[in-house]
Amino acid sequence: MTNISAKDLDFRKLNELIASSAKDVRIDDCYGQRFIGTGLNGKTLTIHGTPGNALGAYLDGGVINVHGNVQDAVGDTMNDGKIIINGDAGDALGYAMRGGSIFVRGNAGYRTGIHMKEYQNKKPAILIGGTVGSFLGEYLAGGLIVVFGIGTEDVPVGNFTGTGMHGGKIFIRTNRELTGLPEQVTAEFASNEDLRKIMLQISEFAEHFNMEAQSLANHRYYLLKPNTKNPYTQLYVKN
């Protein structure tokens, strides 16, 4: 493994060192450098600190494991691979994501999963342990989002969840009533069969963060899907 201290490096030099390494990389003293791991494939980055915006943008098969928080636009347009965040995430997590998985132990900001999409065997997934801000899954076109709400008794998502949603699924774990959803979304309680279909993702989340998968699954979840009777195009059509 290659060890890099990012303390006195700007983002350009840091990314040059990552790209030139033939081995997996450990980065210490990370203080907001942007674009770390852009297009990464075939390597594992282990980061200690706080990466800046667009961590793992266009990720194409690599693994990024962050021991700390992350800023905005993590996994922007990522195609494959994994990003594991042992802390909180900023806004626009997984923007236009089209493959791979993002796991967040803590909370995430606004517009998580906006414009996510899937095609054939490419089915992206975002799993968040804590809470999420407003506009979760905005214009969601495919893939999976799971919000566990660990550590809160309130509904773990903000306002306008699923606005413009026309594909994919959102699972929200809560014992509170889920209200205020836009007309483009239907919500029902997830069945045992629904949860069985995502148990692999729940188990992987639990494994990354030393949790018990079955205890996460043994709760009430809402399942949000697109309302085919009221597609998002009606947002822009006057009667």
Q: What residues contact 19, with CB distance under 8 A and at least 6 apart?
A: none
Overall number of domains in the chain: 1
Alpha-carbon gap, residue 187 to 124, rounded angstroms? 21
Q: What is the pLDDT of residue 230?
A: 61
Q: What one-character-per-residue DSSP string does 156-218 give?
A: SB-SSTTTT--EEEEEEE-SS------TTEEEEEPPHHHHHHTHHHHHHHHHHTT--HHHHHS
- Looking up residue 116, the CATH number of its domain turns out to be 2.160.20.60
Q: What is the pLDDT of residue 228?
A: 74
Q: What is the pLDDT of residue 184?
A: 87
Alpha-carbon gap, residue 156 to 44, rounded angstroms? 31
Q: What residues contact 12, with CB distance under 8 A and at least 6 apart?
A: none
Alpha-carbon gap, residue 34 to 29, rounded angstroms? 14
How confident is the prediction along the chain (239 residues), in pLDDT tens digits per residue? 999 999 999 999 999 999 999 899 999 999 999 999 999 999 999 999 999 999 999 999 999 999 999 999 999 999 999 999 999 999 999 999 999 999 999 999 999 999 999 998 899 999 999 999 999 999 999 999 999 999 999 999 999 999 999 999 999 999 999 988 998 899 999 999 999 999 999 999 999 999 999 999 999 999 999 987 665 554 444 44
Alpha-carbon gap, residue 185 to 191, rounded angstroms? 18
Q: Which domain holds residue 206?
A: 2-236
Q: What residues contact 78, with CB distance under 8 A and at least 6 apart?
A: 56, 57, 58, 59, 60, 94, 97, 98, 99, 100, 102, 124
pTM: 0.94
Beta pairing class for 80-85 and 60-67: parallel
User: Cβ distance 59 to 100 under 8 Å?
Assistant: yes
Q: What is the pLDDT of residue 227?
A: 87
